[in-house]
Every structure is written in C-alpha cells, then in structure tokens.
Amino acid sequence: MSEASGPPTRTPLRIEPNDNLGELEGYHSPQVDVEVRLNTNESPYAPPAEWIGDVVAELERIDFHRYPDRHAVELRSALAELHGVTIDQVFCANGSNEVLQTLFLTYGGPGRRAAVFEPTYAMHGQIGHLTSTSVVVGERGADFLLDLTEVKRVVDAASPSLTFVCSPNNPTGRAEPRPVVDEVLDLVVSRAQGLVVVDEAYGQFSSWTALDLVADDRPLVVTRTYSKTWSMAGARLGYLVGPAEVVAALQQRVLPYHLDALKQRAGLAALRYSSQMEARVEALVAERERLARALHELPLETWPSDANFLLFRPIGRRGDEVWQALVDRSILVRNCGSWPRLEDCLRVTVGTPDEDDRFLATLTEVLA
C-alpha cells in the first residue's frame, strides 16, 4: 500500500450489540495516573507479607493442568465457619460484582424487576440493565438513608424479584439501622415474592452486620468482598451468605469452573490472617474519623460514614472544578457529580495517614 493512500478503510461489521447498557454507559471511575489514588475504596495497605508467601507456596502445589474444584469446597467451608453458617449457605465468585451478576442471572431477566434506592451503588442498576431486568428506582430520604414509606411504595408498585439494600451505602456512606433492614424484609415477604440483597461490601467498617439475619427460611442474602478489608481487590473474590436454596440456584447458573484454583487457595489463605485484617479495619475506622473531623473544618457539606470513604460537597464551588484541581496536584478522588442528587459531590477513600494528610493539605489549598 502506498503511503499516500492513508490508513486502510475497514468495512464495519454488520452486527449490532444489544442496547442493554441503559443510561450507564461510561459510568466507570477514570484510572488517571496520579501519586495519591483515593477514588475506588480499596485498602491503602498491601496484604500481609506472610500471605504473599502462602500464595507463592500454593502456586507450586496447584495442578494447573486440571480444572479447579468446581464447588470451591475448602474456601466455602472456611467462610461458613467464619460466619457460623453451613457450606451450602455460601456462594463464592470473582468479586462481589460477579455475585451480584449471578443473582441477576438467577432471579432477574426479562419480565422481572429489581428495586434500587438512589443514590446508591451504580452496578446494581447496571447489571440489571445488562440482564434485561427492569430496574425500578426509589428515592432515599433526605439524609440518604432508606425511607420505609418509599420502600413500601416501590415494593407495592413493582413487586421486585430483587430489592437492594446497600449497607453501608456507596457512595453516601451510612449503614442502615437493623430495624430498617428487618422492616424491608417484612415488606418484601408480605408484598412481593422476592429476595432482599444486603450489599455489605463495606460491612466490616460498620458496627453491625445483617449476616445474623440469614436463615434458610428467610429470603435475604448478604454479599461481601475481599476487595476492601482483605486488601485483595486485585484478586477479584467475593461471596454471598444466604439460604441454601438460593446458593444452589446460583451454583446452577454461574459458569462452570469460574473461580480459578489459585484464587480459591489465596482466599482460603487470607482467612488465616483475620487478626491482621481486623487491626487494619480498626486503624482505617480511626483514620476515617480523623479525616471526617478535618473535612468538617473546611467549607464543605459533609455526611457521616460507616464505610472506608467519605462524601463531601464543596460550598460555593463546582465539584468538577475542585476534582480537576486535585487531579492537577496528583490526587484522585471520585467525582460523584453525575449520580442522582449528588450534584457537585466528591467521595474520598480513606488512605494511609500520609496520603490523607496530603489530600487534606491540597484540598485546603484548592478551596482557599
């Protein structure tokens, strides 16, 4: 081809992807190259060095020419023991996002509805759209906690197969009080034949968990992740605790051998370091409170948090402008301005004390 002829022209493929993306195309958090990354709620700490040693040792033991244990028996047994449930009440997948997707593949789909209460974790709605489930949107109350009158209205109107309770809620931060979760469950049991999904991705940072509510005769599941407290976002591992009947239905729909052998061993090994994990959670909660107090001193609207992040809104300044000014100074937080009701809001993940000091000093300078 001669240089003058320019780039080759391609005949477009005559296949159209489906239009299940809904309104959420392009939602994802940009991965900008910066020195201080406080945008995706990961742990700021690497996993314990001993755990890395365990994983390296496992690498040598795994039969890589064989498929992994399809039912992840050892990992699920260990998680069952950790939470005082039975192995048939635990389902594991590649991050809690895959757990959520499998819930939609099992209980959602055309002609079925899922209820979400905005503003909340956008993937609940997005996976709903991807699986052709109708997503019915309710509003949170003024303080961003669930409003039971609104939950009742949505459950009555939509009879959802899946009702999402994100607790602590991303990106607003508060955990729902236990009586509210009890009440949502009662509403769903009495008015819809659906499942209540308590997304506890940030559950360990909160003072209570809905795990105690799980029972084989109750339509409630709790989802959890290794991405935050276990410092394993890079490994992609999450799980659900729920009625055995639900777990069996999920196992039937998820792809065979979806959970690779190394991940199963890595997840199992991590559970040996629970005390280090708990110490990190404690330190992050203390650091969150320090960060919250410091944000309180700045010209910001702020909200309390039971998670490892804080939501704030600059007073008298555009959120986009403050976000960009932070990026220009090599600090990345999450811009939540496009979320419903969160105009101009930003969300900062709790980092190490050094990262947080740098964030606070820079934010103070930007807001001055």
User: Which positions lie near ligand PMP, rule CB under 6 A?
Assistant: 41, 95-97, 121, 166, 170, 199, 201, 225, 227, 233, 238
Q: For residues 238 and 243, which CB has a smaller minimum distance to ligand PMP in the complex?
A: 238
Task: Provide, rounded to whole angstroms, the least separation between the CB of residue 121 and ligand PMP.
Answer: 4
Task: Provide, rounded to whole angstroms, the least separation between the CB of residue 271 and ligand PMP.
Answer: 16
Nearest residue by C-beta to ligand PMP? 95
Q: DSSP label at 175?
A: P
Lookup result for tokens 């819930």: 103
Task: Provide, rounded to whole angstroms, the least separation between the CB of residue 164 and ligand PMP.
Answer: 9
Q: For residues 199 and 356, which CB has a smaller minimum distance to ligand PMP in the complex?
A: 199
Task: Provide, rounded to whole angstroms, the least separation between the CB of residue 99 and ligand PMP.
Answer: 8
Q: For residues 166 and 220, which CB has a smaller minimum distance to ligand PMP in the complex?
A: 166
The string over 162-187, giving b where at least 16 C-beta atoms fall within 10 Å of a residue's C-beta and e elsewhere, is bbbbbbbbbbbbbbbeeebbebbbeb
In whole angstroms, give the CA distance from residue 130 to residue 251.
20
Q: Going by C-beta distance under 8 Å and a sequence separation of 6 or more, which residues neighbour residue 119?
A: 140, 144, 169, 171, 172, 336, 339, 340, 341, 342
Lookup result for tokens 């740098």: 358
Q: For residues 34 and 233, which CB has a smaller minimum distance to ligand PMP in the complex?
A: 233
In whole angstroms, give the CA distance from residue 128 to residue 334.
23
The helix or strand, by DSSP H or E, that contains position 301, with its residue range, turns out to be: strand 300-302
Task: Provide, rounded to whole angstroms, the least separation between the CB of residue 126 and ligand PMP.
Answer: 11
Q: DSSP label at 143?
A: T
- What tokens appear for 266 in the block? 């890595």
Q: For residues 95 and 138, which CB has a smaller minimum distance to ligand PMP in the complex?
A: 95
- What tokens appear for 148 in the block? 């039971």
Q: For residues 30 and 299, which CB has a smaller minimum distance to ligand PMP in the complex?
A: 30
Task: Provide, rounded to whole angstroms, the least separation between the CB of residue 238 and ligand PMP.
Answer: 4
